[in-house]
Every structure is written in structure tokens, then in C-alpha cells.
Amino acid sequence: MAVIDLERLNRIAEERDGEFQQGKPFPCMYIDDFLPVETAEKVLAEFPESDAEWNHYNHYNEKKLAITDIDKMGPTAQELYRALMTDEFTSFMTKLTGIEGLITDPELDGAGLHMIRNGGFLNLHTDFLAHTKQTHWSRQISFLIFFNKGCTEEWNANLELWNDDRSECVTSILPKFNRCAMFQCLKPSYHGHPTPLSAPDGRCRKSMAFYMFRDEGHALKLTPTDYRGRPEDSKAKRALIAADRGLLRAYSFVKRHTKLRDGFVDRILKRF
């Protein structure tokens, strides 16, 4: 059995033609039952429980776990990523989104399996708009598949999409099991999971991230992740968000111009 039913997905692209570009506050949409249920169940079962297998992203603007090396994932997750990188899937995404020239990223720069435990969060931000290493590549689409059975609004787990001045959350997407959400990466395209997770029985928010790029044919300015506060955030919190944003910007520049990898930083962050 194929890990993705491309015949079904292409039908969805035809039936929902134009929906992505009409999304608010920027082009976006979600698709339920995105994967064959057997694929979704197997990927969920492969999420590691041990801290040792995860990279730790633990700083003021986010608190989450991630696995960004495809070789460290389970066999179904690996097979799924390989399917997402095929020309056939790229053709489907072009048809669905209307964005031409899409390419996939075998390095999974910033992508991978993500897990947020209770108390974890991801402050509002616009994603980095240029690939860290492939300097000609602009990031076009952020693509997420969720693996959260029984998820409700009470978990505070929703993916929030905010307007340009961050005065309002326009779209809030519940990350329910086997739901795929996607949006176009623009400047700005503020989104996040800013309220700390409050799931029952110690359950986690689990997702798979996949990003699509476009080769612009010339070197692009590095634009690191741009974290910002919400209207209800205090001045002190906004100042700390800005300070952390500055540190992350410096790290992004070092990462582009050296061989530094997240694994080295993870060994430091695990101490906190």
C-alpha cells in the first residue's frame, strides 16, 4: 500500500481549485484525512518517547522537540518523506496552491518531526524566507501533518494564523489526527502556537513539517525566523522576545556560513 494516495489528492486539488489562494489572512488551507489511515497510524506509532532521540529547541520563543535527520526517523516516516519529495507530489502541490516552480528539500532545513509537551509553545513568527544553505532558494510553502488523536480546543494546541500587524488571529486550525495544514510563506505571514500546551494525561502535540522552496536563480538575503509578540503580551515579554530574536538571527548567519548544525546546539540546550 502506498503511503500517499496521489489519485485521491489530485481529485481534491481539482475539487478545491483556488481555495488555497483565497485563504485568510494569507494563502492557506487544510485537508482532513490527508494520509491513508494506515500510514498515519504507523507514523504516530514511530514517534519516539525517549528524550535522547530528540533535538531540544528550548529558548524564550519556543519550547519543542524535533527530529530533523531523516535517518533517525522510523521506516514509515522515512518512506513518507521520500513520497513528499517526488515529482508527482510536487505536481499535486503546484496544482493545489497555484505556485509554480516548487522544489523539495532533501536536507529538511528546519523541517522534520516535531513534538510539544505540556507547557511547550511556539511564539508568533514569520518563517525564515531563504534556505539556510541553498542560498538561491526562497521558501514558498510550510506544510504540516498533525498526529493528535482526541485533540480538542481545550488543549490550546491550535495553529494560529495572524494578520499583518498581529492585532488579530484570523484563522485557527485544530491540529487533529491526520489533518494537513499548509500556508504560503510571505513577509509577513505570522503564525504559531503561542499559548502553552495544556493537554490531558500528559499527551503531546505531534506533527510532521515539510517545506517547499523555489530556485530564484540568484543569491537571496538571509531572513531568519522573525518572532513577535501578541497584543496582550507585556512590554517585558515583548523585550525578551526581541532579545531572543536577535540571538537567533546571529545563530542563523553563523549556520549559513559555517558547518555548525543544530545537533551541537542541542547538546547545550538539553542542559536547560
Give the pLDDT confidence score for residue 267 in this predicted structure: 47
How does pLDDT run across 27-84, given as a tens digit for each residue?
Answer: 999 999 999 999 999 999 999 988 889 999 999 999 999 999 999 999 999 999 999 9
How does pLDDT run across 123-148, given as a tens digit for each residue?
Answer: 999 998 989 889 999 999 999 999 99
- Mean of per-residue pLDDT scores for the chain: 91
Extents of the domains making up the chain: 6-269
User: Domain spanning 6-269: which superfamily?
Assistant: q2cbj1_9rhob like domain (2.60.120.620)
pLDDT of residue 271 exceeding 50, the answer is no
Contact of 146 with 206, CB cutoff 8 Å: yes
Cα–Cα dist 90/99, whole Å? 10
Cα–Cα dist 31/206, whole Å? 17
Question: Judging by DSSP bridges, how do beta strands 191-193 and 159-162 pair with one another?
Answer: antiparallel
80 three-state secondary structure = helix
Give the pLDDT confidence score for residue 252 in this predicted structure: 63
How does pLDDT run across 209-245, given as a tens digit for each residue?
Answer: 999 999 999 999 877 789 999 999 999 999 999 998 8
How does pLDDT run across 34-46, given as a tens digit for each residue?
Answer: 999 999 999 999 9
